[in-house]
Structure 1
Amino acid sequence: MVAYCPPPHSGLDLVYQDDYLLAVNKPAGLLSVPGRGAGMDDCLVARVQAEFPDALIAHRLDMSTSGLLLLARGAEMHRRLSKLFETRQVEKRYLAVVAGCLANDAGEIDLPLICDWPNRPRQMVDFAIGKPSLTQYRVLERNPAQDTTRVELAPVTGRSHQLRVHMASLGHPILGDDLYGGAATERAERLLLHAMDLCLPHPSTAALLSLHCPPPF
């Protein structure tokens, strides 16, 4: 197993801040929450709580994924924010670079997912007992010279590793994916997946809140 080597902490990259909510740009390679075992304490939530002790995380990103993470300030806002995620009132959009040129300009991937328990944390498609999982995609740019596609991904459900498994299942794994990428793993130094946009009703005011974090690739 590869040792956990989080990126250096050079200060929080705050995308949004008010008395009720924080949005932080999580760097690739940093856990969202503490991992199991020694040396796994450094994570996004620990770094945020060092400056905002009342911050509570309401959702997660894979360690390898960068981008927008929301944290509520206080227990009541955490309850409200968690409810927004549970009832799918949070619209999420990711940017990915995948291997190959996608044939269709847009589409949906509807493949049920479940944990591949003997090989966890890997997930897998299972039509018998997998949980319903739906991803919408839209091609932004094809690069035939590099044999890649820049694609916007919108997960309707929020399964673990959903975007990574769904794109690999299409035959277009995300570059740099060390779990599902196959030959595409070595084509990038990091997983080229970034949580780019979040749109939700503010958990305190109900006003529409649109957040954007440009991808670093």
Structure 2
Amino acid sequence: MNRIERINNALTSIHHEVVYHSQEECPKDLLAALGQAFTHIEPLSWSERLAFGGVYLNGVRCEHNTNLTIPCRVEYFEPKFPIAEAKHAFPSFSDKYILYEDDDLVAVFKPRGLPSTPNREQSSYHLKQYLEDYYHCSVHLPSRLDTSTKGVMMVSRSERMHGRLQRLYERRLVKKEYLLEVPVRFDWETNEIEAPIARSALHPVLREVNSERGKPAKTHFERFREQSFVDRDGTTHDSTLLLAKPVSGRTHQLRVHCQEFGPSIIGDNFYEGLFADELHLLSYRVSLWHPFFDREMSVSVPDNLLPEWIPSEKMPTP
């Protein structure tokens, strides 16, 4: 399996696209275009698929049929699971994931495999929706975790907190700490990577270090524990558990910076990490100054939610 095949295999949908340049070739409306272009899909299912999400017209999600005008681009991110069984394709919500709550702020644990917000192929199964169903109000996520990453997230649940929490993140006043495992031993105790990150031309989901097009990105790493990892072939690798503190918040920042200074994170299917059952990356702790209680608060992943690759003894202190 080459790198592109591995990336596509890890994605939860298959991308289809058709572009119309002339009126003669362009169907009258979106449903006609979908039925004509993607003949492997049952035509009568398109109304349900539109409502589920994943259909885009000129880059904008469409949930209803609409007339087409040229030029136009129709895309469909086809889920790899049957839509009727979607609820079994994503982790369910549990109140044990609520790590802290008050009238304005929630600290929540996001399990791996659950999008933070609506993703490309569907708009129903994601953490934001779960929390809105749980609290019966609108919530705001100023920072997101990748679908394959688990751990702590801060979420606002009141109008007066939405803007304040957003500004805390924008001003880099929220301290985020991650634990990750890489298959190598280091001769340093701390290391700082400052390398700009840009979109990669190799694949739409990828990012890369690029000094010309990249946006500034900085991560502070601390060697936390040396351990070992046994891969799926039974080979044992020396590994290191790192405490990572991103100063900036670029997409895939920790994953790209790890690849830049050494081996990629174990289980990282996007950046050629050793194969594993899951991505060995955890949002372990988030700390901030609560604007209404006027005190600093810090929320960590409890021992009962730690992944198997992180021993629970002697966890890092704030």
Scaled by the length of structure 2, the TM-score of the pair is 0.64
* 2:198 aligned partner, one-letter code: I
Matching residue of 1:42: 125
Q: Give me the whole-angstrom Cα distance separating, in 2, the residues matched to 1:40 and 1:3.
A: 13
What is the rounded CA distance, in whole Å, between the counterparts of 2:94 and 2:139 in structure 1?
19
Q: Which amino acid aligns with 1:155?
A: P
Q: Which one is further off, 72-81 or 17-26?
A: 72-81
- Corresponding residue for 1:106? 190
Q: What amino acid is aligned across from residue 45 of structure 1 in structure 2?
A: K
- Residue type of the alignment partner of 1:8: S
Aligned pairs (5 A) from 1:23-172: 23-37=107-121, 39-52=122-135, 53-117=137-201, 119-143=203-227, 146-172=237-263
1:179–1:210 CA distance, 2 compared to 1 (3 A): same
Cα offset, 1:155, TM superposition: 0.2
| Structure 1 or 2: more helix by fraction | 2
Cα separation, partners in 2 of 1:119 and 1:74, compared to 1, 3 Å: same
- 2:157 counterpart letter in structure 1: R
CA contact (8 A) 2:105 2:158 kept: no
Instruction: For residue 146 of structure 1, report the CA deviation from its aligned partner.
Output: 2.9
Higher relative contact order (CA 8 A, sep 6+): 1
Q: What is the distance in 2 between the residues matched to 1:41 and 1:65?
A: 19
* 20-29 vs 206-215, greater mean Cα deviation: 206-215
Partner of 2:47: none
Q: What is the CA distance between 1:92 and its match in structure 2? A: 0.6
Shift of 1:11: 4.4
- 2:266 aligns with 175
Q: CA deviation at 1:121?
A: 1.4
SS in 1 for 2:130: helix
Runs of 4+ in structure 1 off by over 6 angstroms are none
> What is the rounded CA distance, in whole Å, between the counterparts of 1:179 and 1:40 in structure 2?
23
Secondary structure of residue in 1 paired with 2:237:
coil
CA contact (8 A) 1:12 1:47 kept: no
Q: Is the contact made by 1:12 and 1:48 (CA closer than 8 Å) also made in structure 2?
A: no
The equivalent of 2:277 in structure 1 is: 189
1:12 shift after superposition: 5.2
Deviation for aligned residue 1:48: 0.7
1:106 Cα deviation after fit: 0.9
Cα gap change, 1:143/1:124 in structure 2, threshold over 3 Å: closer, same or farther?
same
Residue 3 of structure 1 deviates from its aligned partner by 2.8
Q: Contact (CA 8 Å) 1:35, 1:41: kept in 2 or not?
A: no
Task: Tell me the amino acid that sits aligned with residue 217 of structure 2.
Answer: S
Q: Deviations 1:56-76 (Å, cap 9, x if unpaired)?
A: 222100111100111101222
**Deviation by residue 1:8-56 (Cα, 9 ceiling, x = unmatched):** 344451010001100100001110001123x452011111110112322
Between stretches 143-152 and 93-102, larger displacement belongs to: 143-152
Partner in structure 1 of residue 293 of structure 2: 205
Distance (whole Å) between structure 2 residues aligned to residue 83 and residue 138 of structure 1: 27
The Cα shift of 1:203 comes to 2.9
Unaligned runs of 5+ in 1: none
Give RMSD over aligned pairs.
1.7
Query: What is the distance in 1 between the residues matched to 2:291 and 2:210?
Result: 35
